[in-house]
């Protein structure tokens, strides 16, 4: 991915070939500006690659709109819909997509999963930072994504909340059985949580494997 800028082209992600393990958590680690967010935006369809292809389960999705890709995203400080309750936020995706099943039951299931069954009626302004991120996660999972992308989801939170969420997230992902990629600038966090680690540098992969292999 090359960005066109007034001062000429800027490399987002270089020529890169990468496979993501299904139903596992892959951590993407690397310095600021190394292309981690660009890679996630390419996968979600928010950016189009300058050249190259993206395959989901062997099917080329490069030309597909973000909606059609079924990718869930949780970004740092990801804004919830401020005028909607927690339950409405979580139910938004399933309603938009017209997913089968009872939306209210789905919302309840997700609130249980993130261990916040008691806050369904609250507005985002009435939540703590950690609660907001858990709601953002529930909202992303509610749309039954085939791929979940987390871009430094904890970086705006204080260390204590961060530790609690870290443990919670791993558990939630295991129970949801989803393929997930999490960007972290915290190497310790990545190695502790992930099944696979990809070290990114200057827009490309410099090492990839299990935490044991990469360490
Ligand atoms: P990371 O998430 O690892 O910090 P990014 O993917 O945000 O890295 O950025 C990779 C490179 O692409 C950086 O040099 C950055 O300045 C550049 N870049 C990112 N987004 C844009 C954009 N929208 N326009 C121009 N350059 C961009
Ligand atoms: Mg980034």
184 lines ligand 1 (CB under 6 A): no
33 lines ligand 1 (CB under 6 A): yes
pLDDT, mean of residues 21-42: 95
Cβ neighbours around 18 below 10 Å, total:
15
For residue 32, report the distance from its CA to the centre of ligand 2, in Å: 7
Per-residue pLDDT tens digits for 182-205: 998 888 888 989 999 999 999 999
At residue 110, the 3 state secondary structure works out as helix
Please, which pLDDT band fits residue 103 given cuts at 50, 70 and 90? confident
100-to-64, 65, 93, 144 alpha-carbon distances in Å: 22, 22, 12, 11
Strands 180-184 and 147-151: parallel
Per-residue pLDDT tens digits for 52-94: 999 999 999 999 999 899 999 998 766 799 999 999 999 998 8
For 58-74, b/e burial (b = at least 16 CB within 10 A) is: eeebeeeeeeebbbbbb
d(CA 100, CA 114): 22
Nearest CA to ligand 1 atom 25: 3
Q: Which ligand has the nearest atom to the CA of 76?
A: 2
Q: What is the pLDDT of residue 96?
A: 85
Q: What is the pLDDT of residue 153?
A: 83
Q: What is the pLDDT of residue 183?
A: 94
Per-residue pLDDT tens digits for 38-47: 999 999 999 9
34 lines ligand 1 (CB under 6 A): yes
Per-residue tokens: 50: 């300058």
Closest by CA position to 181, among listed 35, 71, 67, 16: 71
32 lines ligand 1 (CB under 6 A): yes
Nearest CA to ligand 1 atom 21: 3
Q: Is the pLDDT of residue 214 over 70?
A: yes
Nearest CA to ligand 1 atom 1: 33
- What is the DSSP code (8-state) at residue 22? T
Cβ neighbours around 110 below 10 Å, total:
26
Q: What is the pLDDT of residue 16?
A: 85
Per-residue pLDDT tens digits for 149-169: 999 888 777 888 888 888 888
Beta-bridge mates of residue 200 = 205
Nearest CA to ligand 1 atom 16: 33
Mean pLDDT (the chain, rounded)? 91
N-terminal to C-terminal alpha carbon distance within the chain? 28
Beta-bridge mates of residue 151 = 75, 183
Please, which pLDDT band fits residue 6 given cuts at 50, 70 and 90? very high
d(CA 121, CA 90): 11
Please, which pLDDT band fits residue 114 given cuts at 50, 70 and 90? confident
Instruction: State percent of the chain over pLDDT 70.
Output: 99
30 lines ligand 1 (CB under 6 A): yes
Q: Which residue has the higher pLDDT, 99 or 91?
A: 91
Atom of ligand 1 nearest to the CA of 41: 6
d(CA 28, CA 40): 10
Taking the CA atoms of 44, 69, 157 and 177 in sequence, report the sign of the dihedral they define. negative
pTM of the model: 0.91
Q: Which residue has the higher pLDDT, 117 or 62?
A: 62
For residue 77, report the distance from its CA to the centre of ligand 2, in Å: 12
10 lines ligand 1 (CB under 6 A): yes
Q: What is the pLDDT of residue 78?
A: 62
Q: What is the pLDDT of residue 188?
A: 86
């Amino acid at each position: 991915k090359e960005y066109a800028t007034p001062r000429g082209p800027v490399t987002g992600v270089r020529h890169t070939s990468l496979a993501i393990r299904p139903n596992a958590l892959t951590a993407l680690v690397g310095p600021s500006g190394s292309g981690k967010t660009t890679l996630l935006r390419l996968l979600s369809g928010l950016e189009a690659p300058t050249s190259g292809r993206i395959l989901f389960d062997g099917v080329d999705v490069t030309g597909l709109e973000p909606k059609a890709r079924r990718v869930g995203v949780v970004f740092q400080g990801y804004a919830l819909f401020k005028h909607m309750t927690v339950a409405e936020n979580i139910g938004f995706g399933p309603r938009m997509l017209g997913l089968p099943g009872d939306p209210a039951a789905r919302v309840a299931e997700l609130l249980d999963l993130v261990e916040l069954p008691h806050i369904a009626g609250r507005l985002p302004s009435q939540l703590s930072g950690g609660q907001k991120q858990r709601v953002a996660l529930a909202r992303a999972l509610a749309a039954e994504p085939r791929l979940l992308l987390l871009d430094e989801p904890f970086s705006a939170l204080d260390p204590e909340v961060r530790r609690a969420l870290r443990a919670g997230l791993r558990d939630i992902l295991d129970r949801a059985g989803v393929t997930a990629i999490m960007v972290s600038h915290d190497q310790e966090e990545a190695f502790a949580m992930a099944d696979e680690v990809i070290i990114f540098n200057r827009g490309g992969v410099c090492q990839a494997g299990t935490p044991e292999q990469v360490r």
